[in-house]
Structure 1
Amino acid sequence: MLPCYVMLDLETTGGNAVHDRITEIAAVRVEDGIETARWSTLVNPGTRIPPFIESLTGISDAMVADAPTFAEAVQPLLAMLDGAVLVAHNVRFDHGFLQNEMARLDWPLKVKTLCTVRLSRKLYPQFKGHGLDAIMQRHGLHTLARHRAMGDVDVVLQWLKLAQQELGLDTVQQAAKLLLQGSACLPPKLETDVTDIPDVPGVYMFYGEGPLPLYIGKSVSMRSRVMSHFQSATKVAREMRILTEIRRVEWRETAGELGALLLEARLVKEQQPVYNRQLRRERALCAWQLDESPSSNPMLKLVQLDDMEPGAWGRIFGTYRSKRQATDALRLLADTYQLCPRLLGLESGKGICFAAQTGRCKGACAGHESLSLHRVRVQMALAAHQLRAWPYPGKVAIREYHQSSGKTDIHVFDHWCHIATVNDATELDDLSQARKPLAFDLDVYRLLTKRFAMMETSGADLFHLPASMETSNQDCVQ
């Protein structure tokens, strides 16, 4: 298959290459089609073997008690791998465990790898299953030591020999050579050719067997970012879980980073990928509003952003996803600035509040501080949490252009809300006829506040749109 390779298999205490450990190693070295060395050993993992793993592999704590540690077994392993390609069934699993064990020894592992799961997919595309059990059943292969390292190595070697007989040595060699380049970085079940992913801004989506994405991400260089997911899987447990499930990658190009951020935020909320923790939940947001009357009690009331006119958003403080979150934040401000929790509405009753009795309130509730001074201090405490007023008289648009792809995106905003993204003057004209209600999105608000601050110094391509959006459209898409 290859001039020199080592067929390797590991047994481990679990499936997490970061936290679990190796319990058995088996390796067979093949040079010019001839087996030249065979080596295997149990390994003391330094931790208990879970009952499920013991029942699956037959390897118990007692069996590995006197076995060498990985540090003691590493020299014969490296001797086997010297100058050879590491070949394994789902090589990412075995390579990931070896990388982490070597990292614990502060010893980098530099070896080319080839995955026989991917090789099976390439040689036998007419079949769906390419796990070891599926291959054994399909090709009539047998072993008395399934889920033991050397038993599994021998099964894969049997399969390679059979594939060469059925398809020809040249076919197997050619497929192996095509997969060899970068194969360690690719999930074994991935059907998408990663070279098809453009290295431009956009949003990428990882899919498993179901119709909904596992994960949605964004990048200014999609292919590079996707490959970084694959490369980091051996060190990041979540990435490993994603890549054991991934079957295909889809993507959508954008003209720039802002478009990718906006698209990612929208798609995550719409499709709720299981591995996206941020951006997922779209809840009604609430905020604190200061009563206009200086003598009001309580001074603040909790309002829903959806119930307010966009023009009033600049007169509220904080944006919270729940009443509890808003109350906890206000309570913290009261403690920090010695504000009266009773006047703020955090405490019911009349007279002196409990905080004043313990010295944590300056006593506006007891007449020790004027209500006007207390109100000023409340405003100062809230100032850092005030939702910024929309800084423009009307709608604005931000134009992004990507030189290599030639793609143009025009993002239209009003009162911190993303109205739409269009690509040319005609679409911008059509947008002027549409009337859709504004919906505040905290993620978009945060994106825009940062973007506007950058534009003040960068002179980026932002332009104002007239109320009808019927003029100057050609200028914005040149």
Structure 2
Amino acid sequence: MLDRFSKLLFIDLETTGANLAKDGITEIGIVEVTSEGVQRWSTLVNPQVPIPPFVQQLTGIDDAMVADAPTFDRVMDELQQRLQGSLFIAHNARFDYGFLRHAYKRHGIQLRCDVLCTVKLSRKLYPLEIRHSLDALVERHALKSDTRHRALADADLLWQLWRKLEAAMPVDRMRDAIELQLAKPNLPVALESEQLDDLPDGAGVYVFYGEHDVPLYVGRASNLRQRVLAHFPAGRATYKDAQLARQVRRLEWRETAGDVGAHLQQLAMNRALRPVHETRPQEDGVWSWRLRRDAAGGATPELVHDSDIDFGTAPDLFGLYPTREKAESALRSLAEKNALCLKLTHLETVAPGKPCSGYRARRCTGACIGIETSQRHALRLEHALSGVRVEPWPYRGPAAIIETASDGRQDVHIVDNWSYLGTARAEDEIWHLLDETASRPRFDADVYRLLQRALAKGKLRVRPLAAEAQRAALQSG
């Protein structure tokens, strides 16, 4: 690599935490390798924020140790000279590089380096291994260190790892694994690489715009940076991505606390913006089967549209379908699978006293001709439909669905009648969203499906808002 870069810089940072906006750097350690030899450099850094006790215990760096240490602005010039022309090598490099980029950005400096991650390198070279943490690599490659979780000691472990890999791997394989990481995406001409460097590694939603600010595509991701860059691979792109790359002029993104918020915002933005590359047709409402029960205990399915009844409150609804044809096809499939009567499910018109075609084909137990009672058939029908039951909205009014990120950030998704009203990050934003909603929103099948899956996982917290809204109205009145 020294034929391409003037130096290899093995670097490690210790910080007060993982939040770029709130946490600070406490120590920088560098092993600098050039054609002339190896140099080591490290410094404590005053982060200008308290070091949490668990971080002090992990690193051994406490507030007293950094009290008289230089702040970042006093070491950044020397550090930048060391970074000049180097290959930046770190373990979980996005973390270390991200902290440095953010620190320099606070002082109006755009840090640009070629970055190599030893986690990714280890995964590429040892694909059968499961663990690639630094502790795992120390054990696997017999690396030696008297101290862990101090910056220079960990940087030195990376230098040791590099030499072990060079000794163990064929030159071509090592070079190819490195080049794969360093390969640059084929970015659209109008997009600046600096803008893409700012993409976070968290969840979010993004929009590509074309000429005259025409929305081209709305996407969502668990990792915004990876997903956006995946549209512009260094190698051969798909036809769709190549077409998109030619059209893109601008990129916007919003970071979210998690995947649920990203999905909700993607749904809302696709409907509001109607991007060129959104191939899914706009749904003209939704259909469902409603069970109509009679006095004798029987039940028959009736096809209903959400323009006729409120799907958010109606009981005995089963299945959500974009068209009448798909609803009938789904019920027919269910009838065949569960030996339901095509006459009693209203899928077939049969003369009184005559069997349905399902009975003649031995796929009906005879409810059409009285062999099976209508009550028993109704029970079997409801049991067969139970897997697609539509749950009514369980609250008297709107609710806040709270999604929490790994760093503690929260998104508060405001939902009413299974319809998404927006996301708030402060208390006053909640009431602003509710004030903007003049009437009860229409049931939204996409939001219903998304939230049913998400709530079943038990990771979201729900806060009913109807009583709070009523109290607020009384107080203001």
TM range (shorter): 0.5 to 0.7
Partner of 1:450: 453
Task: Answer yes or no: is the 8 Å Cα contact 1:209–1:247 preserved in 2.
Answer: yes
1:367: how far off? Answer: 1.2
Q: Choose the corresponding residue for 2:255, options 253, 256, 264.
A: 253
1:217: how far off? Answer: 0.7
Task: Answer yes or no: is the 8 Å Cα contact 1:306–1:439 preserved in 2.
Answer: no
What secondary structure does 2:206 align onto?
A: strand
2:334 and 2:278 map into 1 onto residues whose CA distance is 31
Matches within 5 A, 1:349-368: 349-350=350-351, 351-368=354-371
Q: Deviations over 1:123-167 (max 9, x none)?
A: xxxxxxxxxxxxxxxxxxxxxxxxxxxxxxxxxxxxxxxxxxxxx
Cα distance change of structure 1 residues 420 and 254 upon mapping to structure 2, 3 Å threshold: same
Say if 2:198 is the partner of 1:186. Answer: no
1:384: how far off? Answer: 0.8
Task: Answer yes or no: is the 8 Å Cα contact 2:301–2:346 preserved in 1.
Answer: yes
Partner of 2:106: none
Say if 2:313 is the partner of 1:299. Answer: no
1:275: how far off? Answer: 2.8
1:210: how far off? Answer: 4.8
1:361: how far off? Answer: 1.4
Partner of 2:266: 264
Partner of 1:222: 224
Q: Root-mean-square deviation (CA), in Å?
A: 3.4
Q: Choose the corresponding residue for 2:424, options 415, 419, 422.
A: 422
1:231 and 1:237 map into 2 onto residues whose CA distance is 12
Q: Return the letter of the residue paired with 2:412.
A: I
Task: Answer yes or no: is the 8 Å Cα contact 2:299–2:375 preserved in 1.
Answer: no
Cα distance change of structure 1 residues 251 and 431 upon mapping to structure 2, 3 Å threshold: closer
Partner of 2:464: 464
Partner of 1:317: 318
Q: Choose the corresponding residue for 2:383, options 377, 380, 383.
A: 380
Task: Answer yes or no: is the 8 Å Cα contact 1:340–1:355 preserved in 2.
Answer: yes
What secondary structure does 1:275 align onto?
A: coil
1:254: how far off? Answer: 3.0
Task: Answer yes or no: is the 8 Å Cα contact 1:201–1:255 preserved in 2.
Answer: yes
2:231 and 2:464 map into 1 onto residues whose CA distance is 39
1:291 and 1:312 map into 2 onto residues whose CA distance is 16
1:336 and 1:294 map into 2 onto residues whose CA distance is 27
1:442 and 1:392 map into 2 onto residues whose CA distance is 17
1:472: how far off? Answer: 9.7
Task: Answer yes or no: is the 8 Å Cα contact 1:394–1:464 preserved in 2.
Answer: yes
Partner of 1:151: none
Greater mean deviation of Cα atoms: 460-469 or 438-447: 460-469
Unpaired runs of at least 5, structure 2 = 5-171
What secondary structure does 2:251 align onto?
A: strand
1:111: how far off? Answer: 11
1:338 and 1:427 map into 2 onto residues whose CA distance is 52
Q: Choose the corresponding residue for 2:244, options 223, 239, 242.
A: 242
Matches within 5 A, 1:35-434: 110=176, 183-190=184-191, 193-231=195-233, 234=236, 236-278=238-280, 280-293=281-294, 299-310=300-311, 312-350=313-351, 351-392=354-395, 394-400=397-403, 408-433=410-435, 434=437
Task: Answer yes or no: is the 8 Å Cα contact 2:293–2:299 preserved in 1.
Answer: no
Q: Return the letter of the residue paired with 1:209.
A: E
1:242: how far off? Answer: 2.0
Q: Deviations over 1:80-119 (max 9, x none)?
A: xxxxxxxxxxxxxxxxxxxxxxxxxxx9995999xxxxxx
Q: Deviations over 1:298-321 (max 9, x none)?
A: 811111123223553442000000
What secondary structure does 1:378 align onto?
A: helix
Q: Deviations over 1:178-199 (max 9, x none)?
A: xxx7544323453573224344
2:189 and 2:423 map into 1 onto residues whose CA distance is 37
1:244: how far off? Answer: 3.0
2:177 and 2:456 map into 1 onto residues whose CA distance is 47
2:272 and 2:434 map into 1 onto residues whose CA distance is 25
Task: Answer yes or no: is the 8 Å Cα contact 1:362–1:369 preserved in 2.
Answer: yes
Task: Answer yes or no: is the 8 Å Cα contact 1:199–1:222 preserved in 2.
Answer: yes
Q: Return the letter of the residue paired with 2:373.
A: S
1:381: how far off? Answer: 0.9
1:234 and 1:294 map into 2 onto residues whose CA distance is 66
User: How high is the TM-score relative to the length of structure 2?
Assistant: 0.55
1:295: how far off? Answer: 5.5
1:284 and 1:233 map into 2 onto residues whose CA distance is 42
What secondary structure does 2:441 align onto?
A: coil
Number of residue equivalences: 298
Unpaired runs of at least 5, structure 1 = 5-106, 114-180, 474-478
Task: Answer yes or no: is the 8 Å Cα contact 1:191–1:247 preserved in 2.
Answer: no
1:467 and 1:449 map into 2 onto residues whose CA distance is 23
